[in-house]
Every structure is written in C-alpha cells, then in structure tokens.
Amino acid sequence: MVDISFKKLIILFFLSSSLRTTTSLDTLSLNQSIHHGQSLVSAKGTFEVGFFSPGNSRGRYLGMWYKNLTPLTVVWVANRETPLHNNLGVLKLNENGVLEILNGKNYAIWSSNASNRPANNSISAQLLDYGNLVLKNSANNILWQSFDYPSDTFLPGMKLGWNLVTGQNKFYSSWKSSNDPAKGDYSVNIDIRGYPQIVVMKGSVIRLRIGSWNGQTFTGYPIQPLKQKQRYEFVMTDKEVYHWYELIDSSGVQIYALSPLGNLHALAWTSETSDRIVIETGMEDSCDSYAMCGANSVCNMDENVPKCECLKEMKLPDTSSSWYNKTMSLLECQKACMKNCSCTAYTNADIRNGGSGCLLWIDDLFDMRTFSQWGQDLYIKVPSSELDDVNVNGNKNQRQQLIRITVSVIISGFLTCACIIISIKIVAPRVYHLASFQWRKKYFRLKKEEPDLPIFSFPIIVKATGNFSSRNKLGEGGFGPVYKGTLIGGKEVAIKRNSKMSDQGLEEFKNEVLLIAKLQHRNLVKLLGCCIHREEKLLIYEYMPNRSLDYFIFDETRSKLLDWSKRSHIIAGVARGLLYLHQDSRLRIIHRDLKLSNILLDALMNPKISDFGLARTFCGDQVEAKTRKLVGTYGYMPPEYAVHGRYSMKSDVFSFGVIVLEIISGKKIKVFYDPEHSLNLLGHAWRLWIENMAMDLVDMHLFETINYSELLRYMHVGLLCVQEKPGDRPDMSSVTLMLNGEKLLSQPKAPGFYTGRGLPKTISPTSNEMSITTFEAR
C-alpha cells in the first residue's frame, strides 16, 4: 500500500500531447532557451527537464523527471516557491552565464545565480544522465549544479550533508502537497551535533532518526535489503560531512523520496518492467517515532501496540549528545567510558573488519527500539546488581546468550581485577601521587592568580545539583553539561561541569576562570566561583532563568514573546558587552565563539554574553593573531578565520553581524537557504537590501511592533558587520553609535561567504538613497 500523502510521486500530469514537443538537446548555450512544450533530454534519454503542472494545480513549474518510467516521477523543481501562472514561461541561459526562468513579462522569477563575472561563449548548461543539471565552462568545471539544491528526492551521486567551510547545508524537503511543490514541513538532514546522524525533521523537531553510519549501514534504520543493489559511503572530514550512494546494478533505478506527510520511501524500477515498486517505507510503526519511550528505554511493537521495555538488543541511541574518536579501539573506548561518570554506553563507531573507533553516549539514552536482525552491539554501563534481573523468558537462544554474557563478564572481571591489583601495588601509587600533586599545583596556582575568586567544595556542588540529576540538566555545550543548582540558603546557580570527553582541557578552563573573573559588566554573565576536585572541573555562574537567546528566536511559539523593542534591546546590550570586551575592560578580549546560544537572558530579558573558554587576549598594540586550530562555530566564523586562521576584534564584529540578522529574521544561519536565489542567510539579506525589500527579511512576529526606520538602521549595521574584508567592518565603538543613530553609515558591500551570483557586489550611493535618508531621520 502506498499512503495518500505519497500521491505527489504518482502524479498523472496534465500535459497535453500537443504541448509536449521535445527538443533533442541536452545542452543550452548562451542565449538559448526552451519554452512551454519543449524540454531538455539527457544524452541517453534517462532524464528530461521541462515545464509541468502537478496534479490539479494551475501553476507552472520547471521540473526534472525520469523520461521513460511509470508513473511520471518528478525528482527536482527549480521554481518551487514561485510558480508561473500561464504557459509563457522560458528557461534561458542568459548572456551572463546564468540560468533563469522568465515569465511572460520577461521578468526573472528564478535564477541559478551561478556567475558573477562576465560570461564567455564557453559557458553552457547541460542535463547529465544521472539527473544533474549543471552549468560548466570549457574546462568542464562545474559553476553551479542542481545537485546542490535538492527538492524532495535523493538521487544516486547526490551529497546529503554539510560544507563546513561555507556553512552550506544540503538537504531535501517535502512538497507542501501533491499539488504544490513548495517547501513543506518535512526535511531530511544530517545532524552534526555529536556523532553525525541522518534525521527526518518536522520543522525544527526530529520526527524520525535514520541514525549514524557504522561502516555498513545506518544504525537507526538498517537498510539491508538495498545493500546488494546500492553502495553507500559516509564522508567526514574537517571541511565537509556528507552521505551519498550509487547503484551497483545500473540496469534498474532506485531513489529516495520524502512525501508531503513526512514518510521516507525507497523507490525502485526493475529492469524487467518500468513500473515502480516501494522497497522500503520509513515510519513503519509507532516505535519509529523519535524518543517514543523517553530516556533509557527501548520501544518494541507488541501486537501492533508500542511497548516500552528495559534495554536489550536494539537500535543504537540518538548520537546528538555523544562523543567519538575514530582511532580508539573498543577496549580503549571501554576504558574511556569507565573513567567518565557521565558515560552511559559505548560501541564501535565503525563495525567493519572487526570494529574500530569509539562512540560514547553521555548521560541519558534516547530513541531506541528492538531490531529482529542487522543490529549492532551496544555496551551499556549498569550496576552489577541489575544483571541478576535479566529476563530469560524460557528461550533457549536467550539462555545461551545469557551464559555467554555471564562467562564474558566473569572472565573480564577476573582480568580487570588482576589489572587493578597490579595497578594498586605497582603503578597506582605513583600515578595517584603524581595526579594528586598536579591537581593541587593547579588549584594553588589558580588561587594565587585570582585570590578573590570563591572556590566551592565538590560535596556542595553535588548536593546543589541533586548529584547531577538529569532533572536539573539545563543543556550541553562543548565544555560539557550545564546543571541548575540550588545552594544552601536558596540561591540558584548554573553549574558547568567539564566533560572528560570535551575538547576543553585545563588551559581552556583556567582561561575562562581567569578571564571572566576579571570582567564586570551588566551584559556579561557573572562567574560566582569554581570547583576543582580530582579530575572534575566546574564553573559556577549566576542563574539565567530565561536560558539562551536561541531558545526564543528559533522557536515558533517562544519567538512571539520577543517583540521588536525586546529584540532591539537585546542587540544593543550585546553590542555594549562586546564593546566592553574589546575596549573598556582591563584586558582586550576576543571572544571567538559569539552566537545566539552563548547569549543568556536574565529574568528581565537582559542579554549577557557567556562562554569564554575559547576567548583570547591581546596585549599592547596587537590587532591580529593566527592559529592552526580552528575553534568556534561555523556560520559565525568570518572568512579570514575559517580559511586562514586569522582572528581579531573584527572576527567578533562579524559574529555580531550574523547575530543581528538572525534576530531580525528569526532564521538560523546554519540552516536557512533561499532556494529561489540559491542564497544563504547573509546573501538573502544582501539581496533584499539592494532591492529595497528589507521588510521581507523581518520575522513575521514583528510586523505589529516594528519600528521601520530602526529596523533599517539595524539591518544596515548588521550588513556592515559581515563584510568580507575585516577592514571594511566597523569596530564595536562605531557599531554602538550607529545603532543609536549617532553616526553616519557607509554603504555596505556583499557580505563574506556570500554564495549568490548575478547580484552586484557593491551598490551605488544613489541606489539606496531613500534608505539612507530614513536611517538618519531620528
């Protein structure tokens, strides 16, 4: 059975034979075009590109489909959000080497924005036989490709994932309905929090978790039936993270498509017939729903009813709160987990060739279900007493498995005890003495360098957090988990607990303590003290009851609570805090990780900059430094840092500009892209700016409270802050004056990491003259 929501993929298109005159071309040269009733056909006749109307829609779209398969299946749509309303549409490769769709009035409603330099006759557009529409030059260098902007279908050879340098996220999203190919509610993404995994999202919420790649399959949704027909690869480097697949048997066709109701289907056409079959359907039952049974439980279907049970063999948990190492062995992984009090489970990151790599889960385990086959071993840390409660249920295989586990536990326990005895008698005294000495040394050095900083005892912290109860957990960052604590007397605090698996070591911890202890400003979070206990490193902060700014801005419901006056107040407060760091504090401090999640909000919604673990200080006349190790968050990094490792105060200015545009738009820098113009958030804001359409950037929740002149000024400042060259960005002193309307604003240029093409890199002083007048009106 194929669900009704999948009707879009079996659409019987209203395409009159009299209008289906097909060209024999697979390529367009400069100034060539195709009209209604014409099409491009790939060299082997596999794919076709032309205009169509889906279902009973009257809108016209440029789409791509398999030419000779039944039913006709559209795999890509160019103008998803901007349909034509008649048969006068034209696809043209213009004189600038840009693909564009023109309406009857010769106005471009969609373009590839692929070239920002004068074109020459060598640029052409070609439909390739694997379903990729590309712009290329005579050297066959691809300037633009449809594969970078998927619709609702994942084709062989496509990349699903992230370019970590540019911040581009390649994901595919559902149609709104079978009649409307505009971007719907659902999308398939790679979640790069923790160990990367594939998830199906509804808006910003995970609906189904396909899981991480273990070298053979996806841990959350094994796809063994397809393994004989497809080859999968998951690539993870410091520059990109993506998944792709190719067909082993080229005689058939196999693709993945996301229906308007969020169901993920694997579709196939066999070589014997052109009729389509559904091989695999995501979301088969209630146990596929994300985190159906909550924390530390496994979901199992019992007579078509979901049943939550204790942990057995199952789908591996959500990896968004995990830690991983590609080179550790399973034994090293086990030791790392045993040493970490927050570690709850571990396994191999890659199960090929006997297994390699380490994947650790920190704290609670979510989204597990039982698999009948094709699972992966997961090692869960439990008290030894709980092993007595294993339910054998009279099953012989389970009894044998229990015996094997018991024998393994006994042998492992014996070897472990032997190692412990040897360590206690020979190694441990020296190691413990050395470790104890080193920690005492660090403690007294810290106390000497900052004598006024309160040092909390570890038992007080344990009691304040309820022994680090998951109920008191506020969130997790690169440093580790953050807990709410209540001290004796009722004072509420926030406690950052160093994760032993985090990238932040003693130097970062010490850096944050010493830096923030010296800072006093109403827009910086206040450090109340720290705690060093053996290998535990904790920071105690004032408690921010309204959490972080991203908690409000990127949530559909909570964002309504931030009207324009609150948002402008927050922007101004962050600017003042940053100005203090750069200019007015005793040290000149570069934050290096400024983003919405590091801006906390107190009870009155006053912003406070937090998380100084990556901050650096400049001395004397120093204005720039360079590093080989990039830290921070992609999307907020300026070009000179992401590419060359150079950072300065202007790096923070760039991050501030991104924050301003996010607050105005309510859109997330790492997620948003404009498919019509192929732009990220910065490019989208720039396009709207130069076209005098600033209001189109604004979060719709602000329309009733917006101060238009103030909005334009703040948007102008945001664009100035994200200029590509550091020298073109203002310093924070100028920014605060600009926000207050006390300083003239220069004209911005195209922002850094601007991915659009075909729009001007600069604008003339007269092209936005009205806006300039408006800026200075108050």
618-673 pLDDT, tens digit each: 876 777 888 877 888 888 999 998 888 899 999 999 999 999 999 999 999 988 98
How far is the C-alpha of 281 from the C-alpha of 256, rounded, in Å? 10
User: pLDDT-derived band of residue 365, with 50, 70 and 90 as boundaries?
Assistant: confident
CB-based burial label for 287 (10 Å; 0-12, 13-18, 19+): buried
3-state SS class at 292: coil
Q: Does the model's pTM come out above 0.85?
A: no
Q: What is the pLDDT of residue 495?
A: 93
The identity of residue 88, as a single letter, is L
Do residues 153 and 233 touch, judged by C-beta distance below 8 A? no
> What share of the chain has pLDDT > 70, as a percent?
76
How far is the C-alpha of 21 from the C-alpha of 234, rounded, in Å? 41
The identity of residue 657, as a single letter, is G
The pLDDT of residue 225 is above 70: no
How far is the C-alpha of 652 from the C-alpha of 590, rounded, in Å? 7
Q: What is the pLDDT of residue 459?
A: 86
476 vs 5, higher pLDDT: 476
Do residues 23 and 34 touch, judged by C-beta distance below 8 A? yes
The pLDDT of residue 372 is above 90: no
* Tokens, residue 146: 């449809």
The answer for residues whose C-beta is within 8 angstroms of residue 153's C-beta and 6 or more apart is 73, 74, 75, 76, 172, 255, 256, 257, 258
Q: Which residues pair with 538 in a beta bridge?
A: 497, 531
- The Cα-based distances of 603 to 355, 428, 545, 546 in angstroms read 49, 49, 6, 6
Report pLDDT digits (tens) over 551-582. 999 998 899 999 999 999 999 999 999 999 99
* Tokens, residue 40: 């491009």
Nearest by Cα to 519 from 450, 619, 604, 457: 450
3-state SS class at 559: helix
Q: What is the pLDDT of residue 425?
A: 47
Helix axes of 732-739 and 649-665: crossing angle, nearest 10 degrees: 30
CATH (one of 3.40.190.10, 3.40.50.2000, 3.90.1010.10, 2.90.10.10) for 4-190+227-271: 2.90.10.10
229 vs 737, higher pLDDT: 737
- Reply yes or no on whether 318 is catalytic: no
CB-based burial label for 263 (10 Å; 0-12, 13-18, 19+): buried
Highest mean pLDDT among 208-212, 308-312, 560-564: 560-564
How far is the C-alpha of 712 from the C-alpha of 672, rounded, in Å? 21
The CATH code that applies to domain 458-542 is 3.30.200.20
Q: What is the CA 257 to chain-centroid distance, rounded?
A: 21
239 vs 117, higher pLDDT: 239
Tokens 């400069």: give the residue: 30
The answer for residues whose C-beta is within 8 angstroms of residue 479's C-beta and 6 or more apart is 496, 498, 499, 502, 504, 508, 509, 611, 613
Nearest by Cα to 715 from 734, 732, 690: 690
Q: Is the dihedral of CA 758, 762, 768, 769 positive or negative?
A: negative
Tokens 């795999």: give the residue: 75
Q: What is the pLDDT of residue 625?
A: 87
User: pLDDT-derived band of residue 534, with 50, 70 and 90 as boundaries?
Assistant: confident
The pLDDT of residue 83 is above 80: yes
Give me the residue spans of the domains in the chain. Answer: 4-190+227-271, 298-386, 458-542, 549-775
Q: What is the pLDDT of residue 12?
A: 33
375 vs 203, higher pLDDT: 203
User: pLDDT-derived band of residue 728, with 50, 70 and 90 as boundaries?
Assistant: very high
CB-based burial label for 778 (10 Å; 0-12, 13-18, 19+): exposed
How far is the C-alpha of 64 from the C-alpha of 666, rounded, in Å? 32
The answer for residues whose C-beta is within 8 angstroms of residue 185's C-beta and 6 or more apart is 174, 176, 202, 203, 262
- Beta strand spans in 192-238 (E): 197-202, 205-211, 230-236
How far is the C-alpha of 242 from the C-alpha of 159, rounded, in Å? 6
Q: Which residues pair with 27 in a beta bridge?
A: 126
User: pLDDT-derived band of residue 500, with 50, 70 and 90 as boundaries?
Assistant: low
3-state SS class at 548: strand
The pLDDT of residue 403 is above 50: no
Do residues 330 and 508 touch, judged by C-beta distance below 8 A? no
Q: What is the CA 476 to chain-centroid distance, rounded?
A: 15
- Average confidence (pLDDT) over 324-337: 90
Report pLDDT digits (tens) over 578-589. 999 998 887 789
Do residues 746 and 734 touch, judged by C-beta distance below 8 A? no
Q: What is the pLDDT of residue 430?
A: 39
How far is the C-alpha of 351 from the C-alpha of 219, rounded, in Å? 11
Superfamily of domain 549-775: Transferase(Phosphotransferase) domain 1 (1.10.510.10)
> What is the DSSP code (8-state) at residue 366?
B
Q: What is the pLDDT of residue 103?
A: 92
User: pLDDT-derived band of residue 511, with 50, 70 and 90 as boundaries?
Assistant: low
How far is the C-alpha of 35 from the C-alpha of 196, rounded, in Å? 43
CB-based burial label for 703 (10 Å; 0-12, 13-18, 19+): exposed
Tokens 């016209």: give the residue: 60
CB-based burial label for 609 (10 Å; 0-12, 13-18, 19+): buried
- Average confidence (pLDDT) over 106-132: 79
Reported as half-sphere exposure (CB side, CA atoms, 13 A), residue 695 has a value of 7
3-state SS class at 406: helix
- Average confidence (pLDDT) over 527-553: 88
- Average confidence (pLDDT) over 424-437: 40
Catalytic residue among 26, 318, 593, 611: 593
Q: What is the pLDDT of residue 120?
A: 59
Q: What is the pLDDT of residue 388?
A: 47
User: pLDDT-derived band of residue 283, with 50, 70 and 90 as boundaries?
Assistant: low
How far is the C-alpha of 467 from the C-alpha of 205, rounded, in Å? 30
Do residues 379 and 338 touch, judged by C-beta distance below 8 A? no
604-609-612 Cα angle (round to 5) = 150
Do residues 554 and 668 touch, judged by C-beta distance below 8 A? yes
User: pLDDT-derived band of residue 310, with 50, 70 and 90 as boundaries?
Assistant: low
Tokens 């970490």: give the residue: 340
In 10 A of CB 422, how many CB atoms? 11
The mean pLDDT value of the chain amounts to: 79
Report pLDDT digits (tens) over 36-50. 999 999 999 999 999
CB-based burial label for 472 (10 Å; 0-12, 13-18, 19+): middle
The identity of residue 159, as a single letter, is K
571 vs 217, higher pLDDT: 571
- Average confidence (pLDDT) over 222-234: 68
Do residues 315 and 289 touch, judged by C-beta distance below 8 A? no
**What is the pairing mode between strands 624-626 and 358-362?**
unpaired
Instruction: Give the DSSP letter string of 576-589.
Output: HHHHIIIIISSSEE
Q: By 3-state DSSP, what share of the chain in percent is helix, strand and coil, each rounded to 5?
A: 30, 30, 45
Report pLDDT digits (tens) over 685-698. 999 999 989 889 99
Fold agreement (4-190+227-271, 549-775): no
User: pLDDT-derived band of residue 535, with 50, 70 and 90 as boundaries?
Assistant: confident
- The Cα-based distances of 256 to 245, 414, 495 in angstroms read 11, 50, 44
